[in-house]
Chains A and B, each alone.
Chain A
Amino acid sequence: DAGVIQSPRHEVTEMGQEVTLRCKPISGHNSLFWYRQTMMRGLELLIYFNNNVPIDDSGMPEDRFSAKMPNASFSTLKIQPSEPRDSAVYFCASRRGQGLNYGYTFGSGTRLTVV
C-alpha cells in the first residue's frame, strides 16, 4: 500500500499564477479530504468528497479555490489566481467508509509558497 500520494511536494510560484495540487488516495478509500495547515489557523478542512462527489466545501476560502475528483483515484485542488496569503502546507487525506475508528490517512503534503 503506497499510502496517499501528493504532488508536487514543494511548489513556488509567483502571485497571480495558477497552481494545481494533486492527490491520489489509497485504493478502496471512498472519502477524500483536502486540508490546509498554516501557523495562524492550524489544520483546516477545505473540502470533503464522498464517492467522488463534493459533500462539504464550506471551508474553501473563496472562489479562487476549486477542487475536483474526476474518479476514485485522483483529485486536484486548484488556486487561480494565487496570492501570497495562500502560502501553506496543503494535505490530502483519505478514508474507507464512514467510521472514524482509525481517522484518516494523510499524504505528506504540498508546501506552497506564493511570492
Chain B
Amino acid sequence: DQQVKQNSPSLSVQEGRISILNCDYTNSMFDYFLWYKKYPAEGPTFLISISSIKDKNEDGRFTVFLNKSAKHLSLHIVPSQPGDSAVYFCAASGGGGSNYKLTFGKGTLLTVNP
C-alpha cells in the first residue's frame, strides 16, 4: 500500500519553462513533507520541505505547495535548467511517534531539454 504516490514516472520540460512535479498521500497523520533530488549513481539530496501548518514554502527557483484537504503537494521549478534533470522523490513523515521515518514516493524523472 503506497502511502505516498508520484503518479508521473517521468516529465519532460523545455529549458526556461516551469516544471511541476506532483505528489499525493493517503495518510492523514503525515505532517511534514520533503522533496529530494537524485542524480544517477548518487544518493538522494534534500531539496526543500514544508510543514503541514503552511501551504507554501519557497527557496529560490523551487517552491513547494501543500493542499492538505486534497492530500496533495507539488514542487514548482521556475525557470527550469538542464542541471535540474534528475529523479525527484516526494517524502512524508509524521504521526504515531514515527516522526523519524520518511515514506518515499517512487520518484519522477525530470528531463529539462536545452
* Residues of A bordering B, CB below 8 Å: 4, 31, 42-45, 48, 50, 55-56, 91, 93, 95, 98, 100-109
For A45, the closest partner residue in chain B by CB is B101
In angstroms, Cα B99 to Cα A44, docked, is 15
- Sort chain B's interface into a size bin: 20 to 34
Given contacts A48-B100, A100-B93, A109-B43, A42 and B105 within 8 Å (CB-CB): yes
Report A-chain residues with C-beta under 8 Å of the C-beta of B100: 31, 48, 50, 55-56, 95, 98, 100
Report B-chain residues with C-beta under 8 Å of the C-beta of A56: 98, 100-101
Contact at B102–A104, with CB atoms within 8 Å?
yes
Contact at B107–A91, with CB atoms within 8 Å?
no
* Residues of B bordering A, CB below 8 Å: 32, 34, 36, 41-46, 49, 89, 91, 93, 98-107
Contact at B104–A43, with CB atoms within 8 Å?
yes
For B32, the closest partner residue in chain A by CB is A100
Report A-chain residues with C-beta under 8 Å of the C-beta of B106: 42
